[in-house]
Amino acid sequence: MATKPEDLNLGQGYRYGWHDPSTSINVPKKGLTAEVVEEISRSKSEPAWMEKIRLKAYEHFLKRPMPAWGADLGEIDFNDIYYYLKPIQDSVTDFNDLPEDIKRTYVKLGISDAEQQRLIGGVTFQYESESVYHSVREDLSSKGILFTDMDTALREYPDIVKRYFGTVIPPNDNKFAALNTAVWSGGSFIYVPPGVSVDIPLQAYFRINKENMGQFERTLIVVDEGAYVHYVEGCSAPIYASDSLHSAVVEIIVKKGARCRYTTIQNWSNNVYNLVTKRAIAEEDAVMEWVDGNIGSKITMKYPSIYLMGERARGEVLSVAFAGEGQHQDAGGKVVHVASNTSSQIISKSVSAYGGRTGYRGLVRVDPKAEDCKSFVQCDALILDADSRSDTYPYMEIENETAEIGHEATVSKVGEEKLFYLMSRGISETEARGMIVNGFIEPITKELPMEYAVELTRLIQLQMDGAVG
């Protein structure tokens, strides 16, 4: 499964492209069989019901054809991927107990600083297939907040996991959800008790190190009645000539009156296939917000979804995507209004340059019994040069006549007049383009925590400077 080196955005500003020698506790092998699935389950000492779910999902995965729409996944070779690599025996709670090379990775990535500065409420680091480091602020744990990796959650809170696992994204939802359900490893588990508000974000960082590695994290978040949490995840991987696969599943249940915001800044290197299924259920009076930033990866297919199951629930998807040379970002959002008086908003901003390709794919559905629902979608695309491309595929399925549904989309280029105006004020063309792009995505970046907004802006700027240098 190869990407030609000249197709990669090598050395153009992606500063996470290094890799470390690969060490692991298990003997990693390529390819996927039922035995590999069983071995994963065994090495985690999982209960029988989880092994059964994995094996059934594996059967679904084999039978399901590849999707006939979206990006071109024709070059993925499922036999050329490592499905499970355990980097250390047990995860640690003291950062200094990490093996040197892994510790260095996170220092280089600048992650540990944020934690040390108490800017976050808790953090988990995933390296290859497993969580290696985890900590939660004491005051949060004492309120009954559970924040751990998914493997630990299955061991320590099996009842909660069994109750919710696969209820939002069932094993046969799509081919990649089936794959994830079969070989999932790592990911975050969060439970917030009723009425508890987690005032500062919980964070996770995912890192792929080995070449041809597949990362299949599984995240489950349950926000109980009236509670609030903001979860942020970031990711990166080394640049290799051959491809990696990241196929994650995120399930979120936001209960009555609760609120959850899930922010992702995806910055995989340009040889990663990023195929993610993310979905939330919002009950009565609940609010779910997806903030989705897609900068990296070779191909991303990701459409955060919300099912508004309870009255007056609200869902929002804010999506920003940048596709540079050799990249295809196919993103968007999906909202299903099942209950009455629910509302939703999807705002998508995408930028394509240097032959990159962005796509917005979305669905707004109003079920026949859902009265007085409102939804508004705005998807705008900026194409920076003549070789780049933008596609918009919104679907609206409205089966209740009281719904108020609006959708607007505009595809544009950088206006000559705007550019001219800025340059006449002594700003260089590159800077001017950067300012225009920043203005374009501002409605989304203003929703990000400060350091993420800064980082996102910086990353996009670097991508734009890319080949011009």
Partner 1 sequence: MSEVLVGALDELKQITVVKDGVPETIAVFKLPSGVYAISDTCTHEETELSDGDVDEEDETIECMLHGARFSLATGEVRALPATQPVQTYETIVRDGDVYLKV
Partner 2 sequence: MHRFDDATLDQIASSTGEPDALTEARRGALKRHLELDGPIVDVEAWKHTKLDDFELDAFTPAAEACEIEGAEAVRAVGGIVAPLAESLGDPRVAAAFSRIGFADSEAYFTTLATAFAAQPLVVLVPRNQTIEVPIVLRRSVLRAGDAVFPTTLIITEESAAVTVIDNSRSDAFDTGTALAVHSTFIDAGPGSQVTYLSLQDYAQDVWHLAPTRAVTGRDATIRTFTATIGGRFTRSVTESKLIGKGSSAELLGVYFGDHDQRVDHRTLQHHIGANTTSELSYKGALKGHAQAVYSGLVAIDHEAIDADAQQRNRNLLLSRHASADASPMLEILTSEVQRAQHGVSVGRPDDEVLFYLQSRGLTPELSQRIFVKGFFQEVIDRVVVGTLRDALEDLIEAELDLEDQ
Interacting residues with partner 1 (CB under 8 A): 56, 60, 166-173, 279, 281, 307, 309, 336, 338, 367, 369
Burial of 230 per CB tally in 10 Å (0-12, 13-18, 19+): buried
**Crossing angle of helices 429-445 and 416-423, rounded to 10°:** 120
Residue bearing tokens 């300012």: 435
Residue bearing tokens 């009156």: 257
The token pair at 346 is 């999807």
Confirm or reject binding of residue 308 to partner 2 (CB under 8 A): no
Q: How far apart are the first and last CA of the chain?
A: 29
Angle at 270 between CA 132 and CA 149, to 5 degrees: 20
Nearer to partner 1, 168 or 377 (CB): 168
Confirm or reject binding of residue 156 to partner 2 (CB under 8 A): no
Q: Which stretch binds partner 2 (CB under 8 A): 42-50, 300-308, 326-334, 400-408?
A: 400-408
Which of partner 2, partner 1, none sits in contact with 52, Cβ below 5 to 8 A by type? none
Separation between Cα atoms, residue 277 and residue 258, nearest integer Å: 22
Nearer to partner 2, 27 or 386 (CB): 386
Cβ within 8 Å of residue 163, ≥6 positions away: none
Separation between Cα atoms, residue 373 and residue 253, nearest integer Å: 21
Parallel/antiparallel/unpaired status of strands 357-366 and 244-246: unpaired
* Residue 150 beta carbon to partner 1: minimum distance, rounded to whole angstroms: 18
Q: Which of 51, 389, 435, 438 contacts partner 2 by CB under 8 A?
A: 389
Which of partner 2, partner 1, none sits in contact with 168, Cβ below 5 to 8 A by type? partner 1
Q: Which of 15, 163, 413, 458 contacts partner 2 by CB under 8 A?
A: 413
Residue bearing tokens 């640049």: 239
Q: Which of 80, 211, 391, 465 contacts partner 2 by CB under 8 A?
A: 391
3-state secondary structure of 290: strand
Which of partner 2, partner 1, none sits in contact with 402, Cβ below 5 to 8 A by type? partner 2
Which of partner 2, partner 1, none sits in contact with 383, Cβ below 5 to 8 A by type? partner 2
Q: Are 436 and 422 in contact (CB under 8 A)?
A: yes
* Residue 166 beta carbon to partner 1: minimum distance, rounded to whole angstroms: 6
CA–CA distances in Å: residue 35 to residues 84, 248, 356: 12, 21, 39
Which of partner 1, partner 2, none sits in contact with 386, Cβ below 5 to 8 A by type? partner 2
Confirm or reject binding of residue 412 to partner 2 (CB under 8 A): yes
Confirm or reject binding of residue 411 to partner 2 (CB under 8 A): yes
Which of partner 1, partner 2, none sits in contact with 462, Cβ below 5 to 8 A by type? none
Q: Are 154 and 161 in contact (CB under 8 A)?
A: yes
- Closest Cα partner for 334 from 350, 316, 349, 351? 316
Confirm or reject binding of residue 431 to partner 2 (CB under 8 A): no
Confirm or reject binding of residue 410 to partner 2 (CB under 8 A): yes
* Residue 70 beta carbon to partner 1: minimum distance, rounded to whole angstroms: 18
Q: Are 335 and 319 in contact (CB under 8 A)?
A: no
Q: Are 158 and 191 in contact (CB under 8 A)?
A: no
Confirm or reject binding of residue 436 to partner 2 (CB under 8 A): no
CA–CA distances in Å: residue 435 to residues 262, 318, 356: 27, 20, 20
Q: Which stretch binds partner 2 (CB under 8 A): 120-128, 139-147, 389-397, 432-440?
A: 389-397
Which of partner 1, partner 2, none sits in contact with 119, Cβ below 5 to 8 A by type? none
Q: Which stretch binds partner 2 (CB under 8 A): 12-20, 90-98, 243-251, 401-409?
A: 401-409
Compute the Cα dihedral for 284, 257, 259, 349 and give only its sign: positive
* Residue 315 beta carbon to partner 2: minimum distance, rounded to whole angstroms: 18
The token pair at 415 is 């206006």
* Residue 399 beta carbon to partner 1: minimum distance, rounded to whole angstroms: 12
Confirm or reject binding of residue 414 to partner 2 (CB under 8 A): yes
Which of partner 1, partner 2, none sits in contact with 393, Cβ below 5 to 8 A by type? partner 2
Q: What is the largest CA-CA distance in the chain?
A: 69
Nearer to partner 2, 18 or 420 (CB): 420
Q: Which of 4, 100, 159, 386 contacts partner 2 by CB under 8 A?
A: 386
Confirm or reject binding of residue 417 to partner 2 (CB under 8 A): no
Binding mask 36-75 for partner 2 (x = CB under 8 A): --------------------------------xx------
Separation between Cα atoms, residue 55 and residue 39, nearest integer Å: 11
Residue bearing tokens 């990000």: 448
Residue bearing tokens 């909202």: 335
Confirm or reject binding of residue 385 to partner 2 (CB under 8 A): yes
Which of partner 2, partner 1, none sits in contact with 428, Cβ below 5 to 8 A by type? none
Q: Which stretch binds partner 2 (CB under 8 A): 56-64, 97-105, 261-269, 395-403?
A: 395-403
> Residues of 382-403 as b/e, b for ≥16 C-beta within 10 angstroms?
bbbeeebebebebeeebeeeeb
Positions that interact with partner 2 (CB under 8 A)? 68-69, 368, 381, 383-414
